Structure 1
């Protein structure tokens, strides 16, 4: 079982992969947000572009979206989900971590989603830029023997690549 990229306790095959095949399977904003994060790790630019709300004109930003997808994403932490002002609006607060040039950066956002035309769409978000980058050290990237293997096999590091 390959664990899902979004950090859920499910396999990718039962969590985000079905939504990547049919976006209407995302019944809650959090499911779409997790699938969008997973699409970054599977390099699925088309999925990310297609799940922006039409008012965002994401196709015009395809190159910038591809640059974001090609970043070195580390993990996702979902902080919480909440309903919006009406039943077709929802919010998801999260932190996504990436590494770049020896630093770990945190994208912290409260994202807004709308349900239209039978599916959820990402609209926009409020970014919290108060979290400073942290220098990556050997200790911060070291994988313990009993930690999950970073290759994504689902095995302990010592039984896989360690």
Structure 2
């Protein structure tokens, strides 16, 4: 299990416990579609696959399990999130769209996922319901300036190893 990061992986610059950590500890409480999208990205980054399963009602695969989510995402290290567009999805809305790009690393390969995610509010709770995405492989590895890690620093993934021997 990964250790809890000090800074939230969603890129908000807020402490994790005051940002996506609040939603991870209380699924179903994200007040907007964007907050849910950011918290889902952070959950992917921290391997909190139970949270991913709890916050989606997929049109295409309504019975998707936590194990299936982990099988397809367990080896991916998410490194940077950029929100590019938000349509609706506010506290008084019933639907919303959040477009984003997310950089990732899998083994020695890097890439970027670009997606337009659709969200729907059901009985006061936001859910991810569908998304149109494109994946680009071998993109430049982008690490936010504020989270640059020295080669001999502990790895940010929580493994306890030096960065150069783990994700570096």
- TM-score (norm: length of structure 1): 0.76
Equivalent position of 2:148 in the other structure: 148
User: How far apart in 2 are the matches of 1:69 and 1:39?
Assistant: 11
Q: Is 1:82–1:92's contact at 8 Å kept on the other side of the alignment?
A: yes
> What are the ranges of 5 or more consecutive residues in structure 1 without an aligned counterpart?
154-160
The reply on whether 1:112 has 2:123 as its aligned counterpart is: no
Q: Which has the higher helix share?
A: 1
Q: 2:109 aligned to 103, 109, 115, which one? A: 103
| Change beyond 3 A, Cα 1:20–1:49 | same
Distance 2:88 2:120 in 1: 10
Give RMSD over aligned pairs: 3.2
CA deviation map 1:48-85 (0-9, x unaligned)? 0011116555543433311243112222111121127x
Matches within 5 A, 1:4-153: 4-53=8-57, 55=59, 57-70=61-74, 71-83=76-88, 87-129=93-135, 132-134=136-138, 148-149=148-149, 151-152=155-156
Instruction: Using the TM superposition, give the Cα deviation of residue 118 of structure 1 relative to its aligned residue in structure 2, in angstroms.
Output: 1.7
The secondary structure found in structure 2 opposite 1:77 is strand
The secondary structure found in structure 2 opposite 1:114 is: strand
Q: Deviation above 2 Å: which 4+ runs of structure 1?
A: 54-64, 100-103, 140-144, 146-153
| 5+ long unaligned stretches in structure 2 | 158-162
Partners in 1 of 2:65 and 2:144 — Cα distance? 36
| TM-score normalised to structure 2 length | 0.73
